[in-house]
């Protein structure tokens, strides 16, 4: 089955600096890669996702890059702000027209702390 | 539009007991997935249901089971509880029939003593 590794497990950056979180996956059939943010005591929420036919996707200060050959993808947060402090999870899923999120495999999470 | 609702939010059980957790998905969502969240282990996939059918199951022992009703509400059951079952159990629903956004509930925090 799919195995997703996520690094680092903890990350502290100065406010205004950039943060990068990296994930690798094992199943070459995986073609959907979402990132979820979980603030302390709250539910995980999708912040950005990318599909395998795209190499990069941006949404304001957040970007995700995908390298299918190397089987890794990364989350980039620029101009970090205190509200970016949270745990971030990457995930990988194989999907087809007749399937749902039946087995989205998550990484173990990165605790990001923004230092004011 | 109401979000994903999980009950109970907190519960304490003792070893050997069993527990049933409930999840009401967002209206119109037919896919419901369950995850176990523990510190350091991230989100571990338990199972996923779509239109009352279990479509996939994670690597958990048979003590963990689930079902989905015709109104898409789902329950999961853990029998013969062990200390290691203490965790936050998250339910997520999805509208799409292919991979897409999961909408998580706030979870049921289970403590096994």
- Torsion of Cα atoms, A8 then A10 then A13 then A17, to 10°: 40
CA distance to partner chain A, nearest, from residue B13 (Å): 21
- How confident is the model over B26-63, as pLDDT tens digits? 999 989 999 999 987 789 999 999 889 988 888 999 99
Are B99 and A43 within 8 A, CB to CB?
Answer: no
Are A100 and B31 within 8 A, CB to CB?
Answer: yes
In whole angstroms, give the CA distance from residue A5 to residue A25: 6
Region of poorest pLDDT, from A25-29, B60-64, B75-79: A25-29
- How confident is the model over B92-101, as pLDDT tens digits? 998 866 667 8
* Among candidates B42, B48, B105 on the partner chain, residue whose Cβ is nearest the Cβ of A101: B48
CA distance to partner chain B, nearest, from residue A36 (Å): 9
The mean of the pLDDT values for chain A is: 91
Please give the share of chain A, as a percent, with pLDDT higher than 70.
93
Dmax of chain A from CA atoms?
Answer: 47
Instruction: Give one word for A2, left, alpha or beta, with left for phi > 0 and alpha for psi -120 to 50.
Output: beta
Are B40 and A98 within 8 A, CB to CB?
Answer: no
The mean of the pLDDT values for chain B is: 93
**What pLDDT score does A97 carry?**
45
Mean pLDDT of all residues in A42-62 = 93
**Residue B108 vs residues A5, B28, B42, B104, B112: alpha-carbon distances, Å:** 26, 22, 15, 11, 13
Residue contacts between A and B (CB atoms, under 8 Å) = 80
DSSP E strands: which ranges in B1-113?
Answer: 5-7, 10-13, 19-24, 31-38, 42-50, 53-57, 64-68, 74-78, 87-94, 103-104, 108-112
Q: A1 contacts in B (CB within 8 Å)?
A: 59
Question: Taking a C-beta distance cutoff of 8 angstroms, is the pair B24, B18 a contact?
Answer: no
Selected residue of A36, A43, A103 to mutate for chain B interface (largest B Cβ count, 10 A): A43
Question: Taking a C-beta distance cutoff of 8 angstroms, is the pair B103, B3 a contact?
Answer: yes
Closest CA to A52 of A34, A35, A36: A34
Question: What burial class does residue B14 get, using C-beta atoms within 10 Å of its C-beta: 0-12 exposed, 13-18 middle, 19+ buried?
Answer: exposed
Q: A45 contacts in B (CB within 8 Å)?
A: 104
- How confident is the model over A80-112, as pLDDT tens digits? 999 999 999 999 987 544 555 557 899 999 999
Displacement of CA A83 from its chain's centroid (Å): 17
DSSP type of residue A104: P
**Residue B41 vs residues A73, B35, B44: alpha-carbon distances, Å:** 20, 11, 7
In whole angstroms, give the CA distance from residue A102 to residue A91: 13
**What pLDDT score does B12 carry?**
98
**N- to C-terminal Cα distance for chain B?**
37
Alpha helices in A22-114 (DSSP H): none
Q: B51 contacts in A (CB within 8 Å)?
A: none
**What pLDDT score does A99 carry?**
52
Selected residue of A49, A100, A107 to mutate for chain B interface (largest B Cβ count, 10 A): A100
CA distance to partner chain A, nearest, from residue B57 (Å): 8
């Amino acid at each position: 089955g799919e195995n997703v590794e996520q690094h680092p497990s903890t990350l502290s950056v100065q406010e205004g600096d950039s943060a990068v979180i990296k994930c690798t996956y094992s199943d070459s059939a995986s073609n959907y890669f979402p990132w979820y943010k979980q603030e302390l005591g709250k539910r995980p929420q999708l912040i950005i996702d990318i599909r395998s036919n795209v190499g990069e996707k941006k949404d304001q200060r957040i970007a995700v890059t995908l390298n299918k050959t190397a089987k890794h993808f990364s989350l980039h947060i620029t101009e970090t702000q205190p509200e970016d402090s949270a745990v971030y999870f990457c995930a990988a899923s194989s999907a087809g027209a007749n399937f749902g999120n039946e087995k989205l495999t998550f990484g173990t999470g990165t605790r990001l702390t923004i230092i004011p | 539009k109401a979000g994903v609702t999980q009950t109970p939010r907190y519960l304490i059980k003792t070893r050997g007991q069993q527990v049933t957790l409930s999840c009401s998905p967002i209206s119109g969502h037919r896919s419901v997935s369950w995850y176990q969240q523990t510190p350091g282990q991230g989100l571990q996939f338990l199972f996923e249901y779509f239109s009352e059918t279990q479509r996939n199951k994670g690597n958990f022992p048979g003590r963990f089971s689930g079902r989905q009703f015709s109104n898409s509400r789902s329950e999961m059951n853990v029998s013969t509880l062990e200390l290691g079952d203490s965790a936050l159990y998250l339910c997520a629903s999805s509208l799409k029939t292919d991979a897409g956004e999961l909408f998580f509930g706030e979870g049921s925090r289970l403590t096994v003593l």
